[in-house]
Structure 1
Amino acid sequence: MSRAELEAAFCATTYRVTVPEGSFALRIGVAAPAFDAFLLRLATQWPASDDEPGETTEMCWGIVTAYNPAALLSEQVNRLAHKRLLKRIKALGWFFLPASNVSDGGVWPVEPSCLVLWADEQRMRVLGSEFGQLAVVCGRTGSVPKLLWL
């Protein structure tokens, strides 16, 4: 698949983030003000570092999956990779929310993923590369989600 075809596939995907109140459907290049507001409320509970939680006007985040790095793999192999991803994120002490990547029209199987909070682009590059991904989705409150090629 060419890079243009891959980019079209990434853009023809909904990145669904699951939260206790329901879910948010994120798309590359599409603003999500309700999601931004949710993140800013959440930021008052979860600090970016060892600092005390408090008011913040910005939070960066990234979505990564361990599924199908550069190829379509078996469900069993993908599930094991996802477990390793969860273990890695937890070992790093990062805050995350469950997510899933849902292709338009069901062209691809749904891929479990993670939305990592307080994750700048460099952290997401490293994590995505560690799991063999070609790209990750990154964003920050006040801007649209974007595709970050690795």
Structure 2
Amino acid sequence: MSARMNPYLNNHALVRPLIDLGVTVQGYGLEKSLMELVKIRASQINGCGVCLDMHSREARKEGETEERVLMLSAWRETTLYNEREKAALAWTEALTRLSEKGAPDDIYDAVQANFSEKEQVALTLLIGVINSFNRIGVGFQVPPISQQRKAA
């Protein structure tokens, strides 16, 4: 892998609005643990190491169990997640893989049944934000934070 520029280093003003949107979304009723699960799941799908590293650590710091973090890619095959989390994870997968099947009605129906209107918008924006950060991380091959620390 060839070294690419760090998109955050000298371009903070360009990235700041995306960071601010992510912070704004957090104030609309979504649980911190649910938001971290959504960020991790989108990052798994997109293969974004820096985001996986960051949000897995953040989830654990906020009290998320190791088992739930590790089993996230197989959430359908376990009873570790509640209906609200399952609806959010299905919506995350649908919107992250939008070109494959769009946003199916059955998945939206589950979101509508588990989230208020404001929460639905906040969840959708959160998914958009993490997908944008994943594209920055993967596009510029930003290494996981743990690797950045070792290199420093």
State whether TM-score is above 0.5. no
Task: Work out which of the two has the higher radius of gyration on C-alpha atoms and give 1 or 2.
Answer: 2
Q: Counting strand residues as a fraction of each chain, which structure ranks higher?
A: 1
Which structure is higher in RCO with an 8 Å CA cutoff and minimum separation 6?
2
More helix as a share of residues? 2
Q: TM-score, normalised by structure 2?
A: 0.26
